[in-house]
Amino acid sequence: MDDGALLSQLDRIRRGTSEIISEAELKNKLTRSLKNKTPLRIKAGFDPTASDIHLGHTVLLRKLRQFQDLGHSVIFLIGDFTARIGDPTGQNKARPAMSDEEIKRNAATYKSQAFKILKDSQTEVVFNNDWFSRMSIHDIFDLLKHSTVYQILARADFKKRLKEKSDIRVSEFLYPLLQAYDSVYLKADVEIGGTDQKFNLLLGRELQRDFHHEEQVIITLPLLEGTDGVNKMSKSLGNYIGISEPAEAMFGKVMSISDELMHKYYELLTDEDLSEIKRMHPKEAKEKLAGLLISQYHSAQAAQGAKNAFEKVFKHKEAPLTIPEYKIHKPAKILDILVDSGLLKSKNEARRLIRQKAVTFRDAKIQDENFSVSSAGIIKAGSRRFLKVAI
């Protein structure tokens, strides 16, 4: 392979990355791989802490797919063991413990959803419980010798929690070392993760060196903000867009993001020419983005249907064809219906929308938070949330 072709591969890999440590090592690995006709082993880990894979996860998955398109093998690691501890990265408190049943159920959905992006033939799905469950207490203590308390406490999130006198479980100290050992066990050539994972990824390099393995190259990718435009996309924050969500829901959520965030979504979630996108009208660009994402995770037909449904609601001010239904058996307060149905997250949000005259029942604006619903009809909250009340 000539230098021009190698540089072309590197340019493709660079797109959307925050940091490559180190690019010289990556170039050497790619060159050796091509010379020996041996694919590199590209690793990324996902703890099954929720049932849905969202667009934030797909930033990593798309980078894995790029490596597959270049002829390499992907190790899709499901952290069914490490999920019991919970990754402390970015957390201000310990994550709640998960049951084995939750972990197994979520892991099954991750596996099926990941193949909407990855190639089955070039993907090895592994579970880290397979090796950690076989380790003895002696093995664990041998592993602990490879890190220090000072090294772990140097992490910014642990520093912050200590300063705030927030509890840190001993098991959380172990998490970065376990993630690092995954790379040793799997003989990873490259590991990919978000920028918040840099400490864990670097520890993987150190541990490989201690075990006399060649160090993995690490590639960090930007964290994708959710629909609120502020926080990292997360199901727990309710700002996520799941790739298995109904097409109409995906379309509406994409249309709700800011113009600035839209360009970041294009860079990290598509292969589109960014210079062309920036010349488009923001509304048209956003509609195109929604269509591209829905076409990938559903179908082109679903994307067109979602666009038509969106226009029906926003352009023609009509109710969508499919509206969730909520049954009442006796008169109920509007606040209770809005929250109990799941249409809104809290009564505070409901009160705010009522004060803004943004809640209607049967096309009449609700101005009293104590309003009682006693008949069937459609509730509209804000510009795009609808609920059909049935008796």
Taking CA atoms, 4 is separated from 9, 10, 24, in Å, by 9, 10, 16
Identify the pLDDT of residue 314: 66
- CATH assignment at residue 385: 3.10.290.10
Residue pair 268/192 in contact (Cβ under 8 Å)? The answer is no
The predicted structure's pLDDT at residue 213:
94
344 and 295 belong to one structural domain: no
Largest interatomic CA distance in the chain: 75
Mean pLDDT for 115-130 is: 92
User: Per-residue pLDDT tens for 133-155?
Assistant: 999 989 988 888 888 877 777 77
User: pLDDT, tens digit, for every residue of 319-331?
Assistant: 565 677 888 888 8
Does a structural domain hold residue 272?
A: yes
User: Which range marks the domain in which residue 376 is found?
Assistant: 325-390
Domain count, the chain: 3
Token pair listed for 116: 């909407």
253 and 346 share one domain: no
* Listed residues 287, 314, 341: the one ending a domain: 314
Q: For the segment 274-311, what is each residue's pLDDT rounded down to a tens digit? A: 899 999 998 899 999 999 999 999 999 999 998 888 88
Residue 30 lies in a domain: yes
Over range 251-263, report the average pLDDT.
89
Q: Is the peptide bond before 8 cis (omega within 30 degrees of 0)?
A: no
Per the CB < 8 A criterion, the answer to whether 230 and 253 are in contact is: no
Of 300, 378, 373, 308, nearest in space to 334 by CA:
373
Range with the poorest average pLDDT among 104-108, 181-185, 192-196, 368-372: 104-108
* Residue pLDDT, tens place only, 330-344: 889 999 899 888 888
Would you list the DSSP string of 172-225?
HHHHHHHHHHHHHHHT-SEEEEEGGGHHHHHHHHHHHHHTTPPPPEEEEEPPPB
pLDDT band at 99 (very low <50, low <70, confident <90, very high): confident
Answer whether residue 208 shows pLDDT above 70: yes
DSSP calls for 226-239: -TTSSSBP-TTTT-
Say yes or no: 342 and 307 in one domain.
Answer: no
With contact defined as beta carbons under 8 Å apart, do 298 and 247 qualify? yes
Establish if 319 belongs to a structural domain: no
Last residue of a domain, which of 314, 345, 361? Answer: 314
Backbone angles phi, psi at 188, to 5 degrees: -70, 135
Residue 235 lies in a domain: no
121: pLDDT confidence band, cut at 50, 70 and 90? very high
What is the overall mean pLDDT for the chain?
A: 86
Q: How confident is the model at residue 163 (pLDDT cuts 50, 70, 90)?
A: confident
Closest listed residue to residue 314, CA positions, set 232, 236, 255: 255
Q: Is the pLDDT of residue 51 over 80?
A: no
Q: Is the pLDDT of residue 88 over 60?
A: no
The closest of 176, 135, 131, 124 to 153, measured between CA atoms, is 176
Mean pLDDT of 26-51: 88
d(CA 79, CA 50): 12
DSSP 8-state class, residue 145: T
Q: Note whether 170 and 296 are same-domain residues.
A: no
CB 42, CB 192: distance < 8 Å = yes
Instruction: Indicate whether 72 and 180 sit together in one domain.
Output: yes
Region 161-170 average pLDDT: 76
Quote the pLDDT of residue 308: 87
Residue 45 domain flag: yes
3-state secondary structure of 85: coil
Tell me, yes or no, whether 213 and 329 share the same domain.
Answer: no
The pLDDT of residue 374 is 87
pLDDT of residue 355: 87
The span from the CA of 79 to the CA of 73, in Å, is 19
Quick check: 19 pLDDT over 90? yes
Instruction: Average the pLDDT over 377-389 and give the result.
Output: 81
Is there a single domain that holds both residue 11 and residue 132?
Answer: yes
Residue 22 is part of a domain; what is its CATH number? 3.40.50.620
124 vs 88, residue with greater confidence: 124
What's the confidence (pLDDT) of residue 315?
62
Which residues, in sequence order, are CB contacts of 169 under 8 Å at separation 6+?
A: 85, 94
**Is 266 in the same domain as 131?**
no
Q: How sure is the predictor about 90, in pLDDT bands with cuts at 50, 70 and 90?
A: low
* 101 in the same domain as 144: yes
Whether 232 is in a domain gets the answer no
Tell me if 238 is assigned to some domain.
Answer: no
One domain, residues 66 and 197: yes
Q: Considering only residues 211 and 101, tell me which one the structure prediction assigns the higher pLDDT.
A: 211
Pair 285, 354 in one domain: no
The stretch 177-200 carries a mean pLDDT of 93
Q: How much is the pLDDT for 286?
A: 93
Residue where a domain stops, chosen among 289, 314, 339:
314
pLDDT at 35 over 80: yes
282 lies in the same domain as 334: no
